[in-house]
Amino acid sequence: MAYDLVVRGGTIIDGSGGAPYPGDVAVQDGVITELGRVREKGREEVDADGLVVSPGFVDGHTHMDAQIAWDPLGTCSCWHGVTSVVMGNCGFTVAPCREEDKHLVLRNLERAEDISGAAMEAGIDWTWETYAEYLDAVERLPKGINYSGYVGHSALRTWAMGERAFEDEAKPDDLERMAGELRSAIRAGAMGFTTSRTRNHQTPDGKPVASRVARWDEVEALVGVMGELGAGIFEIAGEDTGRDPERVRDYLVRLRDLAVDSGRPVTWGMFSSRRAPDYWRPYFDLLDETAAAGGRMFAQVHSRSLNVLLSFETRLPFDALPEWKELRSKPLAEQCTALEDPTLRARLVAAASTPSGGRRAVGTEMRRPDYEWLFVMNDAVGPHVSVAEVARERGCEPVEAMIDLARERSLRCFFVQPIANENPDHVLEMMRHPRSVVTFSDSGAHVSQIMDSSLQTHVLAYWVRERQVVTLEEAVRMLSFDTATAWGFHDRGLLRRGFAADLNVFDPAEVTPEIPEVVHDLPAGAVRLKQKARGFHATIVNGQVVLRDGEHTGALPGQLLRGPLAAGRG
């Protein structure tokens, strides 16, 4: 017989963490049928000689709920080996929602997730009201990778309460409507329920997104619906506790009790920090404490610091300053020409060098940037040199160094501003924690500010190849089996007979993220950051080669991955 596809002559790293071995992978009808020596030919073959063959990577934290309407490939994630994603995190989804009320959903998403309202208006064909209908719409759409999704609290609230969702506590009948819709969504295949209680998530007019208005007992009641059904994961973007130990402990106890009482897995994100090493210790302890109490909880962690990318092409800390506004209103080429004027440069440097001469990348408080923690992106992996260090070497003000660095690259230069400042030892500790998963790209959100779709290739390029503190087998397991298991994709994340044929074929000596670029390829010409990768020879989804050397083959074999209560549906 001839197989549909044979990946021939590679080094198989199967996702289990076990030792690699040479062999072939045969695929029939989208499923792995043979591993090892495959004598039969494939109708299509991929030459993997000298390359690694691994499972496709799984990203459990994305925001592609709107993007999927216009981008079937799932960029930028697909370029970094990701073959399956989970959408709808942090309480943000585009369903449930009536078409005539879509402005309410856009209000939740536009600022909090930096998703252009114009892009969503132009790119989404609103054919649903309920979340079950949204899943059906996703299933019909052409897809290059696999998608699954949560129900978001903000959308659920605005669907049930309308404008009141942004101001009022839920009444009993409001909560009953939300519970009924959530119950229907889980039965239709939603992966769970998500919310946000952090002040970072605001509407365009600076008010809380809808989920932030909810009382904790509303959250408990909705997670309880999943407990009754025995299905679904609860994800929370966090709650503002500051550094008050009593408030932190109160929040952690509520999370622990929610996991134990509901019987549902609870998950949340953790990032590296410059703060004292024990800052995150209570959160680490919570994971084990919850398990000891009979609940399940896991942290979602990154492979580097959480960074905002600043540039003349997008935004700078000084854009709000009167002396900078005129320059920044011009097209990029005109800005570059104007900056040749030493008098103008001196005026800009003076304005930005005052104590209030710069705006924080996140928030509105005016303050001078910390140039020791503002870095120049000379390559995508790092470590990066600080603007302060460059300024000292050049004998100039840090702002002048930024201007000159940008001019040397025709203003196409990124400056890396950590939000949760990097502590590499803490990152590695988080990645290796037994109750964490390495994920959290936020792909589909923060599209002009943050580019973390490359977190998987960062693991391979930095932690495996450069630092040599994580083995390749360990890294592949982190990115495939561990994440697939956390979200219940039990036929993915491993190379095994009978498993879905999601695979990567890559060169471990070459795989790396590339420098991002600024593009205007969203609907309505909206801006976003785009980042590709080198070193991937092929990415295969459900047995079909979707990407060869980073280029789309035209195949769109992606599937909707429904939750466990939807077995046999669709």
Q: Examine the fold and report which residue of 239, 255, 279 is the final residue of a domain before the chain moves on.
A: 239
Whether the pLDDT of residue 94 is over 50: the answer is yes
Residue 357's pLDDT band (boundaries 50, 70, 90)?
low
DSSP result, 240-295:
--TT-HHHHHHHHHHHHHHHHHH---EEEEE---SS-TTTTHHHHHHHHHHHHTT-
What is the structure's pLDDT at 242? 79
| Final residue belonging to a domain, choices 361, 384, 417 | 417
Residues 194, 95 share a domain: yes
Q: What is the pLDDT of residue 116?
A: 84
Average pLDDT of the chain, as a whole number: 94
Q: Is the pLDDT of residue 289 over 80?
A: yes
Which amino acid, one-letter code, is at 222?
Answer: L
Half-sphere exposure of 145 (CA within 13 A, CB side): 31
Domain that holds residue 313: 309-417
* d(C-alpha 288, C-alpha 259), whole Å: 12
Q: Average pLDDT of 234-251? A: 91
Assign residue 224 the CATH number of its domain.
Answer: 3.20.20.140
Domain's final residue, options 366, 396, 417? 417
103 plus 193 within the same structural domain: yes
* C-alpha dihedral sign at 560, 561, 563, 566: positive
The residues near 40 (Cβ < 8 Å, ≥ 6 apart) are 1, 2, 3, 6, 26
For residue 568, what pLDDT band results from cuts at 50, 70 and 90?
Answer: low
With tokens 């295949």, the residue in question is 189
Specify whether 318 is located in the same domain as 404.
yes
pLDDT, position 276: 52
- Given a cut of 50, whether residue 47 has pLDDT beyond it is yes
pLDDT of 354? 79
Whether residue 234 is found in the same domain as residue 321: no
Arithmetic mean of pLDDT, 411-439: 89
The token pair that represents 522 in the structure block: 């969203």
Helix (H) or strand (E) holding 389, with range, is helix 387-394
CB 369 within 8 A of CB 358: yes
555, part of any domain: no
- Any domain includes 472: no
pLDDT at position 16 over 90: yes
% of the chain exceeding 90 in pLDDT? 89
Q: Are residues 217 and 339 in the same domain?
A: no
Are residues 96 and 177 located together in one domain of the fold? yes
pLDDT confidence tier of residue 204, bands split at 50, 70 and 90: very high
Angle at 49 between CA 45 and CA 55, to 5 degrees: 70
Domain membership flag for residue 332: yes
CB-CB contact of 500 with 492 (8 Å): yes
Is residue 223 domain-shared with residue 323, that is, in the same domain? Answer: no
C-alpha to C-alpha distance for 75 and 189, rounded to whole angstroms = 24
Question: Sheet holding 297-301: strands in order across?
Answer: 151-152, 192-197, 233-239, 266-270, 297-301, 436-438
Report yes or no: 63 and 444 within 8 Å, Cβ to Cβ: yes
Asked if omega into 383 is within 30° of 0 (cis), the reply is yes
Question: Is position 113 within any domain?
Answer: yes
**pLDDT of amino acid 360:** 44
Separation CA 511–CA 384 (nearest Å): 19
Residues 6+ apart with CB under 8 A from 331: none
- Which of 100, 185, 67, 56 is closest to 506 using CA atoms? 56
- Domain identity same for 125 and 208: yes
Distances (CA, A) of 222 to 131, 183, 208, 234, 254: 15, 9, 20, 10, 14
Residue 520 has pLDDT above 50, yes or no: yes
Mean pLDDT of 247-270: 96
Residues 109 and 219 in one domain: yes
Residue 157 has pLDDT above 70, yes or no: yes
| Residue 539, in any domain of the structure | no
- What is the reported pLDDT for 364? 38
Percent of the chain residues past pLDDT 70, beyond the cut: 95
Is 234's pLDDT higher than 60? Answer: yes
- Whether 569 has a pLDDT exceeding 60, the answer reads no
Q: What is the pTM of this model?
A: 0.95
Contacts of 190 (CB under 8 A, 6+ apart): 88, 131, 135, 149, 150, 151, 182, 232, 563
231 and 318 co-located in one domain: no
Question: Looking at the predicted structure, is the pLDDT value of residue 344 above 80?
Answer: yes
Residue pair 56/83 in contact (Cβ under 8 Å)? The answer is yes
Helix (H) or strand (E) run with residue 28 in it = strand 21-28
- Residues 116 and 213 placed together within one structural domain of the fold: yes
Q: Is residue 369 part of a domain?
A: yes
366, pLDDT greater than 60? no
Does residue 363 carry a pLDDT above 50? Answer: no
Q: Is 322 helix (H, G, I), strand (E, B) or coil?
A: helix
Which residues touch 316 (CB under 8 Å, ≥6 apart)? Answer: 310, 324, 328
Q: Is the pLDDT of residue 261 over 80?
A: yes
3-state SS string over 38-99? Answer: CCCCEEEEEECCCCEEEECEEECCECCCCHHHCCCCCCCHHHHCEEEEEECHHHCCCCCCCH
Residue 194 has pLDDT above 80, yes or no: yes
Closest CA to 9 of 54, 53, 40: 53
Q: What is the pLDDT of residue 274?
A: 62
Cα-Cα-Cα-Cα dihedral sign, residues 439, 443, 445, 448: positive
Please state the rounded mean pLDDT for residues 356-378: 69
Task: Looking at the structure, tell me whether residues 116 and 199 fall in a common domain.
Answer: yes
Residue 387 lies inside a defined structural domain of this protein: yes
What mean pLDDT do residues 236-251 have?
Answer: 90
How many separate domains does the chain show? Answer: 2
Q: Do residues 361 and 347 make contact, with C-beta atoms less than 8 angstroms apart?
A: no
Q: Is residue 60 one of the residues assigned to a domain?
A: no
- Give residue 539's Cα distance to chain centre: 19
**CA separation, residue 454 to residues 20, 304, 482 (Å):** 24, 10, 18
Q: What is the pLDDT of residue 358?
A: 54
Q: What confidence category does residue 570 fall into, taking pLDDT thresholds of 50, 70 and 90?
A: very low
